[in-house]
Structure 1
Amino acid sequence: MSRQATIQRKTNETDIELGFSIDGEGRTELETGVPFLSHMLDLFAKHGQFDLIVNADGDIEVDGHHTTEDIGICIGQALREALGDKKGIKRYGNAFVPMDETLAQVVIDLSNRPHLEFRAEFPSKQVGTFDTELVHEFLWKLALEARMNLHVIVHYGHNTHHMIEAVFKALGRALDEATTVDPRIKGVPSTKGLL
């Protein structure tokens, strides 16, 4: 079974083509127009062993908000489509990632109940030209469109780049665990019989 999806999203603010494969090798082709976001998506895919292709043309002359938000929407939609009926998946994922002085944790439930719990306070408002408040925006849209329960905690840290990098690495690793197919699981991992 091929667990992959292609998403196209075109608005007055962005034009995005995105390909996502759950069972990949960590390969990326990223043209986002937002360099720091590209760096984070590369880490996410590499640590999750996902293949990710993004071609985005957004109104970055305004700022990176719409592009970042809409890429989060597209990855969430692609993930949801690629998972299909979710039969046999582990459903839950948890990852701790240290990055020098920082420790981040991401916990996921592919429950079909979207929620983001975000516990991180970044010392800087920007990393390069990237507004750090967009990390929350990206994660919320990802959780909403993938219909997953997503908890993100930065336990400590003082370098904003390290803190965000640890979050995206942990996101990839936790999602890799949650999407893994376990042959012991018959149907979906829920007493309801539905996710």
Structure 2
Amino acid sequence: MNPRQAEVERNTLETQIRVTLNLDGSGQADLHTGLPFLDHMIHQIVRHGLFDMHIQAQGDLDIDAHHTVEDIGIALGQAFARAVGDKAGIQRYGHAYVPLDEALSRVVVDLSGRPGLIFAVEFPRAQVGDFDVDLFHEFFQGFVNHAQVTLHLDTLRGSNTHHIAETLFKACGRALRMAVAPDPRMAGAVPSTKGTLTL
């Protein structure tokens, strides 16, 4: 299998972002988003997905974090789409349940070539520290739009906002890891009766 790696730079008047991604890594993260809680959450995807990822981001955080969080999701989605390529010989689907104390979340993904986000998540608090947790929806929306995947995120229970967020990101990493894993029985074929997952 060819190296499944990608590098993306996204520069606008609002943000400047560089992402490198290796789908066949070992869980190494080098994250500098300017938002420590977002770094902590993305690190969960990296560690549990066994990806290697570098993110360097500068944004208009003096206004708020919205542009930075959304644009990181966009750039990461673009990198993911490039790294996974034509999806030949992979599992395509992935799912994971992850608990953290009282919190439990489920994430299901289809590398379908069609962007779709179901975000059935309720946070008891609006913020963790200074971070507005509503922005996680914007992060995942940016990701699915540009990764071209269908992603269902469901929180099944939980009362601690930090725990809920962490279970979502851990489960996302594990679901993506399953979906991009090689399937030897596919013998290099694209896992679709259409013969393509890129159109």
TM superposition score category, shorter chain reference: over 0.9
Query: What residue in structure 2 maps to residue 158 of structure 1?
Result: 159
Q: How many residues align?
A: 195
Shift of 1:63: 1.4
| Alpha-carbon distance in 2 for matches of 1:157, 1:89 | 33
Amino acid in structure 1 at the alignment position of 2:196: L
- Alpha-carbon separation, structure 2, partners of 1:144 and 1:81: 13
Give structure 1 stretches of 5+ with no counterpart.
none
AA in 2 matched with 1:5: A
Residue correspondence of structure 1 range 48-67 to structure 2 within 5 A = 48-67=49-68
With normalisation by structure 2, the TM-score equals 0.97
Q: CA deviation at 1:62?
A: 1.3
Partners of 1:59 and 1:21 in 2: CA distance: 28
1:109 Cα deviation after fit: 0.2
Task: Deviation per CA, 1:56-92: give whole Å up to 9, x if none.
Answer: 0111111111111011001100000001111001000
For residues 31 and 84 of structure 1, the distance between their equivalents in structure 2, rounded to whole angstroms, comes to 26
Q: Take 1:115 and 1:85, find their aligned partners in 2: how far apart are those partners?
A: 19
1:98 maps to 2:81: no
Amino acid at match of 1:119: A
Aligned counterparts of 2:195 and 2:44: Cα–Cα separation in 1: 34
Q: Which residue of 2 aligns with 1:149?
A: 150
Three-state SS of the structure 2 residue aligned to 1:184 is helix
Equivalent position SS for 1:96: strand
Between the aligned partners of 1:98 and 1:178, the Cα distance in structure 2 is 20
Q: Which amino acid aligns with 1:127?
A: V
Give the SS at the match of 1:150. Answer: strand
SS in 1 for 2:20: strand
Quote the sequence identity (%): 52
RMSD: 0.6
Q: How much does 1:35 deviate?
A: 0.7
Query: Shift of the alpha carbon at 1:14?
Result: 0.4
Question: How far is the alpha carbon of 1:10 from its aligned partner?
Answer: 0.5
Deviations, residues 38-58 of structure 1 (Å, cap 9, x unaligned): 000111100000001001011
Of residues 184, 189, 192 in structure 1, which corresponds to 2:191? Answer: 189
SS at match of 2:184: coil
SS at match of 2:185: coil
The amino acid of 2:190's aligned partner reads V
d(CA) in 1 for partners of 2:64 and 2:163? 22
2:125 — aligned with what?
Answer: 124
Structure 2 residue runs of 5 or longer lacking an equivalent are: none
Measure how far apart 1:143 and its partner are: 0.7
Q: TM-score, normalised by structure 1?
A: 0.99
